[in-house]
Amino acid sequence: MDSETEVREDLSKSAKTFKGFGILLIVLGVIAIAFPIFASLAVVKFAGWILVIAAFFIFGSAFMAGGAGAMIVRILWSIAALIAGIILLVNTDGSVGFLTAVLAIYFIFTGLVKVTLAATNRGESGVGLVAVSGVLSLILGLIIIADLDNTKDWAIGLLLGIDFIFGGFYMLGIGGVAKAASREPLSKE
């Protein structure tokens, strides 16, 4: 078992790491909001490369599969991943539009689920926030889908930026909790 001093040092280092990542996420979020078109294109390119790289790994795993059927399925899967990745890398404009449409459908679906959940759990603690979140998700999804030609350029980047900023503040909070914990006496059991 580590001594109390070693545990405190580990907590202090963790706090600094969380705070550092939190600040980095906030900065990246601000950049994504300031340049949403660039951020949207970066997401599409990243997804394209991930699919292309995954295709090779999936293809390689096909020959480790037990049986001809599993091998054929994995080879077909690798081909589909490769084609999807190449499409995302080559057809950036269409890819951004497609991903934005998927994002809008996701918001609409999650909005409906949240509103339904809130309606079925009326009277419980916190259900109002779930309902508000659901309505906002619905509105956001409908706004994006209603004018997809114009929203496709900025929606992914803006939402990614907002998510990064909230994630950054969350990481800063975790860092603060870890720092405070490093100063508290450890309980002996």
pLDDT given for residue 52 in this prediction: 93
Helix (H) or strand (E) holding 187: none
| Structural tokens at position 57 | 């790994």
Half-sphere exposure in the Cβ direction for 172 (13 Å, CA): 12
The residues, ordered by sequence, that sit 6+ positions from 89 with a Cβ below 8 Å of its Cβ are: 45, 48, 49, 52
Tens digit of pLDDT for each residue in 33-76? 999 888 888 888 888 899 899 999 999 988 887 778 878 988 99
- What is the structure's pLDDT at 174? 83
Q: What is the pLDDT of residue 1?
A: 47
Confidence at 2, pLDDT banded by 50, 70, 90 = low
pLDDT of residue 156: 84
Question: Does residue 189 carry a pLDDT above 90?
Answer: no
Q: Quick: pLDDT tens for 135-162.
A: 988 998 899 889 888 888 888 888 888 8
Query: For residue 4, what are the contacts with CB-CB under 8 A and spacing of at least 6?
Result: 185, 186
pLDDT of residue 11: 79
C-alpha closest to that of 138 among 111, 105, 115: 111
Residues 76-113 have pLDDT tens digits of 989 988 988 888 888 877 778 888 888 888 889 888 98
Which residues, 6 or more positions from 158, have their beta carbon under 8 angstroms from its beta carbon? Answer: 32, 33, 36, 39
* 43 within 8 A of 157, measured Cβ to Cβ: yes
